[in-house]
Structure 1
Amino acid sequence: MPDNFEIAYPWVFFLVPLPLLIYFFLPALRIKSASLFLPVFNKALDYTRQKPRKSALVKRRNFLVWLGLFLCWVLLLVAISSPQLVGKPEMKVKTSRNFLIAADISFSMAQSDWTINGKKARRWDAVKQVMHEFIKKRKGDRMGLIFFASNAYIQAPFTPDLQVVDQMLEEADVGMAGQLTYIGKAITKGVEMFERDTIKTKVMLLLTDGVDAGSDILPLDAADLAKRDTVRIYTIGIGDPGKAGVDLDERTLQEIARVTNGQYFRAKDKARLEEIYTELDTLEPIEYVEEQNKPITLLYYYPLGAAIGVLLVMMVILTIVNFIKLFNQRKELYV
């Protein structure tokens, strides 16, 4: 019997002995019927020297018939008790945070120094491929997209429709926001998005492979604004600073993460970036709440069907037995 099998109304089984109690404690049902009048009845009494008395005919059933009826009674009680399979409560994803991805799409992200399936690929193509998988796993979060270079613009406002966010990511490409890297503008644009929303938990994921080239808003000043608005920033540096053609300001990214109580990661290749996203799932886990309703599969129709089946079998057997008796009686008359 499976572990999730339950009886909804177990008290019903206290009614099992009810037919026996009725049989033994209630008086037999008496039905009056007209007697047969015989003209020679009194002469027969004188001849046999017997006295007339009241009598009753008690119809007795076969033991197998009683057994079948009792079995039907038990099966009906089993059906009434409502046997069922109760599943585990379903886990519902709880929308708990606004998760903003701010990705650098300056010209430096077009360098083909990463690999995808053993082939050379642009940094942006590799980053985008991993980000697709990351977005699909963030069920329950309201996600948004900001792309930045010389300017920062909102590609997707906060939405629980992750398919839309994924599509907007796919449509973005290097150079759409300019050539240079303005990290301060990206953070400030993200803070503005958070300020227009009511959800308290705010997380920003900042990806860049360059050094901030702006002078209007410095990255650390923007990080202070984010801290005041309780925005936690996780920074990811794209590329290996030890290699030629990689101009990555790790110190600034580390400081941004420290100021906002976030964490800095360095992704030197696609494999490491995948590991970082796995770590982010651990740091910012999806929250679930247990639904009150449990999935229930009712099973009452099995014992109910069995009871009907037993009755049908009994009717067939009794019909055959009566037919055989009637046939034998007629045979005796003719003999």
Structure 2
Amino acid sequence: MTTTSPPIAIIGAGVLGLCAAFELSRRGHAVRVIDPGGANASSVAAGMIAPAMEAAIDQAAPEQAALFRAGRDLWPAFAQAAGISLNARPAEWRGPQAGELAERMAALGFAARRDGDTLVTDEDLQVEPEQALAALRSALGAAVVNGEVLRLETTPSAWRLRLDGMTLEAAAVVLATGAGPAIPGAPPEAQRLADLIQPIKGQIGRLRSRPVAHVVRGPGAYVAPMGRGAVVGATMEPGRRDLDADPASAQRLVEAAERVLGRPLDSAEVAWGAGVRGASPDGLPLAGAVPGADGLFLALAPRRNGWLLGPLVAGVVADAIEGQASEHAAALDPGRF
């Protein structure tokens, strides 16, 4: 594989942007990641790689469940290559819907075991977002630069990115900008697709204590181990872009988590944060070439499955850049809208 010169520019340093950059880099391409800085939705997350639970809870179609499973199956090799710690722990559902969820999992080919109102599967995994993002950044090294792209421009042979105090020439550009607006100068089709993405605010709380040894879900909340503590989550508030912690939402999450766990939590020890995810009209990412815009690609809008689908999206985007056919390209093709 020949190294690309000028580099491929990836705009955005969340899970999809960094995964795409890492995949391209290990295929031999020169990359440059433009990180606008600050927290992003990937860092304000529980790091769940949860095809079984997500497919059952969302009543996913068999095709979508298969996509989720394929995303999960890429993780062990990807994590080892990137230095990401991958946790294989049981995932548990507690609540009266256990029977219904068990039936859905079985119909979709996921293994689970049920005991009354408890359902447990070993199909799901978890990463710790801070460690995973840091590992990807470390693997990419000097390829990650801080800055904000103010404008995109086309040239006869490449793209030009205008940053504050810097200009970058790129052989191709991957937009991994989350739920943000289209970058000025982006082609009309890229702007149209960006306008289709719905922002969804998600609020999550960090506990200093660790009341669970593995992910425990139930109606209205989940509690997941994280570092020496745990996280309590998460809200899904479509149409909101603010990052303010909402006390009423926090209280509802704590109360729901207490019902799931069957014991009280000390709400005073929860530190609350929020992130804004992007969602396409069908809930699946936009990954691949922008129609009619040579050299411009998207890695956007995974809804709440950014960590689950990170390596899969990265592979689809890298294949598209290299002109290869990809098994999952049609499902994620930006041109489907």
Q: Same fold (TM over 0.5)?
A: no
TM-score (norm 1): 0.29
Q: Name the structure where helix makes up a greater proportion of residues.
A: 1
Rg larger in 1 or in 2? 1
TM-score (norm 2): 0.29
